[in-house]
């Protein structure tokens, strides 16, 4: 019974700091490596979602997020008969990072934590140039040919410009 009351006191105490709900959006850079593709370049994508920042103490908080994440890559190759071809691969994920944040100052924070991502869509567009002309081929891909689940660790830092607006960078 004492443990139950202690646990409730700790949980109730953490809510005394007040949670903050919010929305976030931004750009990301991703790349995919695969044997046989020599010229694979990074692709700029975007993300958007919501978060809950729950302080544990004055300096520490937990921030779970749910994000739509557009990732992929660009690949250029010379294909016999077709000539030069550039393929843009788009992979759409629902990502759930759980970041543990440390406030170094009231405005500046460091963060680290796991990220769980679930593939929800995949497509590609190939542009080609031949001696006979140029064109584009859109292709819907079978998402079962890709990893349906990704796990990673995030590390980042952020700066709160105002209590409601901030910027961060994460890798």
Concatenated DSSP letters of 44-90:
EEEEEEEEEEEESSSSEEEEEEEEEEEEEEEEEEEETTTEEEEEEEE
Low-confidence ranges of the chain (pLDDT < 50): 4, 8, 14
Please state the domain extents for the chain: 22-170
Residue-wise pLDDT for 17-41, tens only, equals 688 999 999 999 988 776 666 678 8
Q: What is the pLDDT of residue 24?
A: 95
- Given this model, what pLDDT does residue 63 score? 97
Rounded Cα distance between 91 and 34, Å, is 15
Q: Domain 22-170, what architecture?
A: Beta Barrel (2.40)
Structure tokens at 6: 């202690």
Q: What is the pLDDT of residue 92?
A: 95
Asked whether the whole model's pTM tops 0.85, one would answer no
Q: Residue 135 has which token pair?
A: 């064109």
């Amino acid at each position: 019974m004492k443990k139950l009351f202690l646990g409730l006191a700790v949980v109730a105490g953490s809510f005394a700091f007040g949670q903050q709900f919010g929305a976030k959006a931004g750009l990301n850079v991703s790349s995919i490596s695969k044997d046989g593709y020599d010229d694979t370049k990074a692709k700029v994508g975007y993300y958007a979602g919501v978060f809950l920042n729950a302080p544990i103490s004055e300096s520490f908080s937990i921030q779970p997020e749910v994000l739509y994440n557009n990732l992929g890559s660009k690949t250029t190759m010379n294909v016999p008969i077709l000539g030069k071809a550039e393929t843009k691969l788009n992979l759409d994920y629902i990502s759930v990072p759980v970041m543990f944040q440390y406030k170094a100052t009231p405005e500046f924070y460091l963060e680290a934590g796991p990220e769980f991502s679930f593939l929800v869509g995949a497509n590609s567009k190939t542009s080609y140039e031949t001696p006979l002309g140029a064109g584009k081929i859109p292709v819907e891909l079978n998402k079962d040919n890709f990893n349906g689940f990704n796990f990673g660790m995030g590390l980042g830092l952020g700066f709160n410009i105002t209590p409601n607006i901030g910027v961060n960078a994460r890798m």
